[in-house]
Structure 1
Amino acid sequence: IPKFLSSLLELKRLHIGDSRLTSTIPVALANLTKLEWFSIAQNQIQGKFPHELGSLTHLMGFNMEMNNLT
C-alpha cells in the first residue's frame, strides 16, 4: 500500500481491492481520521494488522478478505 496515501487527510473512501498489492498495511494510515470506508480485499497484503487503525472512529466499513494478514 503506497505510504503517500496517509498524507491525504481529507480522504473518506479508500478502495484498493483486487489491485495485486503485496505490501503490508502502513501504520501511518491511522492519520486518515476522516476515513469512512477502507477496502483492501483480494490482494496479497501480508503481515500484522496495525492496531493503530482502531483509532479511526469514523470508519463504518472495512473489507480485508482474501489477504495474508495475521
Structure 2
Amino acid sequence: MKAKELPASLTVLGGGSIGVELAQVFARFGCRVTVVEGQGQLLAGEEPDAGQLAAEVLRAEGVTVLPFGPSA
C-alpha cells in the first residue's frame, strides 16, 4: 500500500488481523479511524479475549470500533 498524503479520516471494513493493523497504523499517524466489523467482535477467528483486547487498545488510541453481528 502506498499513500502520498495522510487522509483526514479512514473507515476500515473488517476487523481481522489486517484491518486491525491498518487501523492502528493510520491512527498512530494521526488519522481519524473507524473500524466496522460484521462478525460482532474484532479478530473473530481468534479467541474472544484477543478481539476484546484489540478493541480496547484501538479505542484507547482513539479508533472508533463498530462491531455488528451476532456477538455485538
The interval holding the TM-score normalised by the smaller chain is 0.3 to 0.5
Between structure 1 and structure 2, the one with the greater Rg is: 2
Instruction: State the TM-score, normalizing by the size of structure 1.
Output: 0.41
Higher helix share: 2
Instruction: State the TM-score, normalizing by the size of structure 2.
Output: 0.41
